[in-house]
Amino acid sequence: METLTKEGVKKRVIEGLGGTDIHNDLFGRSTPDAHPIAAITDLQTELDDLDTDIAANVALLVNHETRITNNESAISALDVRVTSLEDDLNLSTRFDDTASGAVLYLGEADPGVAEASALWRIQQITFTNLPSEDDLQILWADGDNSFTKVWDDRLGLTYS
């Protein structure tokens, strides 16, 4: 019985493969590009590319979610405005043009509110180019459109 050494085994393997040397002691892998490390490196490159693609897609998703959130906020703001306009349609309105031919007072309150109650919002509308009525100035009592004014006090209020 013959004693085999490492070199003897290698020689027999090489002869069994038709005389080609093997790469990294792996049978049938005689070229460097067939080496498993090269395949692993290629896989790592593909995984890195996938990570980059995933990161880009996540960034796109975040961008879309931000746009959706912004759109939802805009829709909510429009809903509030529509509600406000609907509320405005249900208001009682008073007009007074007796103070001067160039000034008109417009008051709004909920239906049934007394003119002496501090539940009105009042505008002063001034026509600046009579008789054409093309130019006008609209000011709010006390500078705001809150329902805290008294219609009966309209002539004595400050408008801005």
- pLDDT, one tens digit for every residue, the chain (160 residues): 556 666 766 666 666 555 554 444 455 555 554 555 555 667 777 778 888 888 888 888 888 788 777 777 777 777 777 766 666 678 888 888 776 667 888 899 988 999 999 999 999 988 776 555 567 788 999 999 999 999 999 999 999 9
What single DSSP character describes residue 121? E
- pTM exceeds 0.85, yes or no: no
Specify the long-range contacts of residues 99-103, CB closer than 8 Å, at least 24 apart: 99/155, 101/130, 102/126, 102/127, 102/128, 102/130, 103/127
Compute how many other C-beta atoms are within 10 angstroms of the C-beta atom of residue 51: 10
pLDDT confidence of residue 151? 94
Give me the pLDDT at residue 22, please.
Answer: 46
Retrieve residue 12's tokens.
């027999």
Token code pair at residue 43: 């896989």
Tell me what pLDDT residue 160 has: 94
Distances (CA, A) of 74 to 71, 84, 155: 5, 15, 39
